[in-house]
Structure 1
Amino acid sequence: MTESRVSAAFEDEDYRRAVVDLLGAIAYGELAAFDRLSADARLAPTLEDKIAIGAMACTEFQHLLQLRDRIAELGDDPYAAMAPFRQALDLFHEHTAPSDWYEGLIKAYVGDGLAADFYREIAAYLDTRTRDLIVASLADAGHSEFVVDRVRSAIAEDPRLGGRLALWGRRLMGEALTQAQRVAAERDALSALLAGGVDRPALDLAAIGRMFARITERHAERMAVLGLDS
């Protein structure tokens, strides 16, 4: 969008509310990721692993601060904006608490990747500044290379681990899709965003179906990179 179109979009209160909702959801996700990765660091088998996971947590926290500041800039309380998503996201993390170091790695790579894919899909319908902020906040925090190396090495040493982690990946997929669909359906502002508006196309049921198909395909690609069946 041009600057004038961005201004016009934010004159639409439904659009502004939807953007705040979306940023609030992502911000709370970043806070939850920071908290989870900090806990995962305690499971790390080596100092190198502990520091790597700690660095990821720090990156997530920096993303959170950027989102918080943008919500405030839009005239909303960032903590109030995050609050509606707390229960759903906390429930997701409660249902997918890793039982060991490797499950934690898979969750950091696959689970966070699924959430990022969902939010990037929605961000494609937003103004340029908001889209760029969301894409930047969802950028890989050092997960990929580190997780792939650790998981593939562990499976090479113990092939039986691969079967268990594949099942874990499928469970994460199911829980993440359920959460994404619930968030999209329960928040009126986000539903309105997907329905279109000022200089923005609508996302019909067929398009939503294709969106979730793309998310599923990218999940399968991540699992394959890890050497796991999806």
Structure 2
Amino acid sequence: MQTPDETSEQPEPTGIAAQDWTTAAADPQYRAAVVDLLGALAYGELAAFERLAEDAKLAPTLADKAELAKMASAEFAHFERLRGRLAEIGEEPTAAMEPFAAALDGFHKQTAPSDWLEGLVKAYVGDSIASDFYREVAARLDSDSRGLVLGVLDDTGHASFAVEKVRAAIEAEPRVGGRLALWARRLMGEALSQAQRVVAERDALSTMLVGGVADGFDLAEVGRMFTRITEAHTKRMSALGLAS
């Protein structure tokens, strides 16, 4: 998922962000943090594939069903890239993903959509919050890991598809907007809580975020990071025609 107006200039990489994987991975704590990150991302992509395939059953038309199937296929391709990278660096992919399965499954269980439109809003809003978080972390990764992470976060086409369908639904029946706005706010809260739980439970990721191994991150910056994620959420709500 892409954030509207995602065009801000990025500072020149320094520290770990200017290194390649081979150099950066000499630090075992950094290596552990990246393995955690790739494991979380890989399971997230696998879960996204499963959810999109399931949401296709709610699609009102054959064309919509086919569009979601194409997006599900793209998510699975992302999963395969991450799984392949974990194996390439000598990690067992399933073991790397396992610590994150319960939290991500719990999030999806708590935010199961009741209809087609809620499913679209969840994919656009919920997944985008996670993507924003991973992009923030990616800016502090070594060049090889950063390129992989940003590549698998590429929009699968769901963003414009969701915006088009949700705006059309609200135009046809304005009262739908209030229900979807409440749903999106719930997704925001659940997604941020889930991200914070995942990080808190993994020492290597926590250290990365507060500056132990990542270049330029400190506690104050973590607060600013979540502020930026919240601001991006507000922009997406506006794109959908919903009040934040």
Under TM normalisation by the shorter chain, which class is it? over 0.9
Separation (CA, whole Å) in 2 of partners of 1:158 and 1:109: 20
In the alignment, is residue 224 of structure 1 matched against residue 238 of structure 2? yes
Residue type at the aligned position of 2:215: P
CA offsets per residue over residues 78-135 of structure 1, 9 Å max, x none?
0110000000000000000000000000011111100100111111110011111111
CA offsets per residue over residues 33-87 of structure 1, 9 Å max, x none?
0000000000000001000011110000000000001111111100110000000
Separation (CA, whole Å) in 2 of partners of 1:129 and 1:62: 18
What residue in structure 1 maps to residue 138 of structure 2? 123
Residue type at the aligned position of 1:187: R
Separation (CA, whole Å) in 2 of partners of 1:62 and 1:78: 15
| CA apart distance, 1:201 | 2.0
| CA apart distance, 1:197 | 5.1
1:25, 1:82 within 8 Å by CA — same for their partners in 2? yes
2:210, 2:219 within 8 Å by CA — same for their partners in 1? no
* TM-score (norm: length of structure 1): 0.96
In the alignment, is residue 67 of structure 1 matched against residue 82 of structure 2? yes
Partner-residue secondary structure (3-state), 2:113: coil
Which one of the candidate residues 35, 40, 43 is aligned to 1:20?
Answer: 35
What residue in structure 2 maps to residue 206 of structure 1? 220
* TM-score (norm: length of structure 2): 0.91
Partner-residue secondary structure (3-state), 1:114: helix
Separation (CA, whole Å) in 2 of partners of 1:84 and 1:59: 24
Correspondence list, 1:142-221, <5 A:
142-196=157-211, 200-221=214-235
Residue type at the aligned position of 2:55: D
Whose relative contact order is higher, 1 or 2, with alpha carbons under 8 Å and at least 6 apart? 2
What residue in structure 2 maps to residue 111 of structure 1? 126
Counting aligned pairs with the same residue, the percent is 62
2:58, 2:115 within 8 Å by CA — same for their partners in 1? yes
Separation (CA, whole Å) in 2 of partners of 1:32 and 1:90: 8
| CA apart distance, 1:189 | 1.1
Specify every segment of 5 or more residues in structure 2 that has no aligned partner in the other structure, as ranges: 1-16
Specify every segment of 5 or more residues in structure 1 that has no aligned partner in the other structure, as ranges: none
What residue in structure 1 maps to residue 100 of structure 2? 85
Aligned length: 228
Residue type at the aligned position of 2:105: D
What residue in structure 1 maps to residue 60 of structure 2? 45
Partner-residue secondary structure (3-state), 1:70: helix
Separation (CA, whole Å) in 2 of partners of 1:100 and 1:2: 45
Partner-residue secondary structure (3-state), 1:159: coil
Partner-residue secondary structure (3-state), 2:25: helix
1:20, 1:74 within 8 Å by CA — same for their partners in 2? no
| CA apart distance, 1:195 | 3.7
What residue in structure 2 maps to residue 56 of structure 1? 71
